[in-house]
Amino acid sequence: MKWLTEKEVAEAAAKSKRVAITCSKKHWEQNYTATTEEVEELAKRPIENEEDKGQPSAPPDGYLCALCERYGVSCDKCPLGPNMCCSEYHAAADAFEEWLGDKTEANFTDWQAKAKLMYERLCKL
């Protein structure tokens, strides 16, 4: 899989709210369709932004979300806001962390199911 890059996300975020939503949908679609190998490959890619430079990448991270890039800490303006994203995001992020701690097939399947719910939430915008 060719994961979205930070540059692609930043460019989408700068264009418009609609383009940011479309990019975010693509990001979450990648999350729920990725194989374990593809997620492991993404984790090897270091983050490029100044705040987290050099840290390993993780699929639910905000730097890969065009809406997070567009609105930054102004979550009250984000269509998923107002409190550091929506419940679907938090469920997906928690499931990903669970999988990181215990890399079983069941935990990965749970992560993908929660990532798909996040994608579906974005599709409602």
In this predicted model, what pLDDT tens digit does every residue of 36-56 receive, in sequence order? 999 988 877 766 655 655 566
Structural domain contains residue 88: yes
In this predicted model, what pLDDT tens digit does every residue of 16-42 receive, in sequence order? 999 999 999 999 999 999 999 999 888
Q: What is the pLDDT of residue 51?
A: 61
Structural domain contains residue 81: yes
Structural domain contains residue 1: no
Amino acid letter at 8?
E
Please tell me the distance from the alpha carbon of residue 26 to that of residue 59, in angstroms, as a whole number.
Answer: 12
Amino acid letter at 117?
L
The least confident of 4-13, 35-44, 65-74, 75-84 is: 75-84
Q: Is the pTM of this model over 0.75?
A: yes
Residue numbers of the domain that contains 26: 6-123
Please tell me the distance from the alpha carbon of residue 99 to that of residue 94, in angstroms, as a whole number.
Answer: 9
Structural domain contains residue 113: yes
Structural domain contains residue 111: yes
Please tell me the distance from the alpha carbon of residue 81 to that of residue 103, in angstroms, as a whole number.
Answer: 30
